[in-house]
Amino acid sequence: EAGVAQSPRYKIIEKRQSVAFWCNPISGHATLYWYQQILGQGPKLLIQFQNNGVVDDSQLPKDRFSAERLKGVDSTLKIQPAKLEDSAVYLCASSNGLAGAYNEQFFGPGTRLTVL
């Protein structure tokens, strides 16, 4: 079974530029998560989708971040414009079935973003 795929693996941009990350979850997984992991910290949830609907985006800085999962499969996360403090690893995860506290989440390798 293929794992969660993410691209690109690394991205370097200058502040005020735009960037987009892509995630393809494990086949059949209904729930998809985007996390931000700043160096030295644990991952923090940005947004959670169930199929193509948003379950929780309370931690997403909506003035600059946006995410979509149009067909309920793969997802993109965009930052526009980027700030220095957005430098982090962006992790995508997916879980089987509907969103639940019980669910094991499977993580992708992440995209390391550096904003100069």
Partner 1 sequence: AQKVTQAQTEISVVEKEDVTLDCVYETRDTTYYLFWYKQPPSGELVFLIRRNSFDEQNEISGRYSWNFQKSTSSFNFTITASQVVDSAVYFCALSEEGRGSTLGRLYFGRGTQLTVWP
Residues in touch with partner 1 (CB under 8 A): 3, 31, 33, 40-45, 48, 55-56, 58, 89, 91, 93, 95, 98-110, 112
Calpha distance 90→14 (Å, rounded): 17
Q: Are 55 and 70 in contact (CB under 8 A)?
A: no
Q: How far is the CB of 88 from partner 1 (least distance, A)?
A: 12
Q: How far apart are the first and last CA of the chain?
A: 37
Closest to 23 (Cα-Cα) out of 107, 98, 80, 97? 107
Q: Minimal distance in Å, beta carbon 47 to partner 1?
A: 10
C-beta neighbour count of 83 within 10 angstroms: 12
User: Which CB sits closer to partner 1, 17 or 26?
Assistant: 26
Residue whose CB is less far from partner 1, 17 or 87: 87
- Comparing CB distances to partner 1, the nearer of 17 and 103 is 103
